[in-house]
Amino acid sequence: MIRHRRTVGAAAALALGAVAVFGFATPASAHVTVDPEQAEQGGYGRFTFRVPNESDTASTTKLEIFLPENAPVGSVSTMPVPGWTVAVEKRQVDPPVQVHGSEITEVISKITWTAGGDAAIAPGTFQEFPVSMGPLPEVDQMVFKALQTYSDDGVVRWIDEPQPGGEEPAAPAPVLTLAAAGSPTEGPAGAPAPEAVADEDDEDGDGLAVGLGVAGLVAGVGGLVLGGLAFSRTRRAADPTDRGGEATPAS
């Protein structure tokens, strides 16, 4: 346990040193994202669009989220965000979307949040916009193109779609990966979900730390036993009152 704590402490010290020297620990993700990033086809869920403010001088005053045309969702509802108003746009779909046995011919195509008063996203902060959706379509992924408007009238277009096997685009759109109902949730291209990989790494690291700790404990106990025997022999040889195991009575 002690050795494991020392190892963790050393790793933390190295990480802090890297931050001090290089000014960062891991690459920052500053684009609009959706959380969670994975879900199950046919299910319902609560999803949050997270919007960080990248400008040093302007605030974010509006967010527009476009639902993918190739993956219509029959039921979409928003959660109130203090200080922000929300508006939705709809479109007709053919064939209709099935929701609880009913056919829906009109779905939401766009959601717009607009800040009022002092609710705008200030520099160095972020805001979250929750949405409930379902049933999720039977497609591999949903790409939500987004427009982020700033108080200086600047607009950032988060509309670049992911390219399989390619690098992350400069202005990536939020992407929700969908798995077939009943199948293990996996990342793109069948890669294990990051949480599973992290758990396996943690288990390997903990196993190694426990093994080292047990070995150290055994070695320590052995050292104490040998040290005790050596001390006992030395004391017996140096004690002038020791005579064949009988102590000399005190005068």
Is the pLDDT assigned to residue 207 strictly greater than 50? yes
Is the pLDDT assigned to residue 12 strictly greater than 50? no
- Edge-to-edge order in the sheet of strand 38-40: 38-40, 175-179, 141-143
Which pLDDT band, with edges at 50, 70 and 90, does 167 fall under? confident
Pairing of strands 126-134, 141-143: unpaired
Instruction: Give the span between the Cα atoms of 230 and 227, in whole angstroms.
Output: 5
The DSSP line for 112-136 is EEEE-TT-SB-TT-EEEEEEEEESP
CB atoms within 10 A of CB 52: 17
74-93 pLDDT, tens per residue?
A: 999 999 999 999 999 999 99
Kindly state the DSSP code that residue 36 receives in the 8-state scheme.
S
One-letter amino acid for residue 220 of the chain: G
Instruction: Give the span between the Cα atoms of 83 and 113, in whole angstroms.
Output: 10
> Which residue, chain included where needed, has tokens 């069948």?
190
> Which residue, chain included where needed, has tokens 């960080």?
52
Q: What is the pLDDT of residue 185?
A: 53
Which pLDDT band, with edges at 50, 70 and 90, does 166 fall under? confident
Rounded to the nearest integer, the mean pLDDT of the chain is 76
Is the pLDDT assigned to residue 53 strictly greater than 70? yes
Of 86-100, 150-164, 204-218, the poorest mean pLDDT is in 204-218
Count of residues for the chain?
A: 251
Q: What is the pLDDT of residue 221?
A: 46
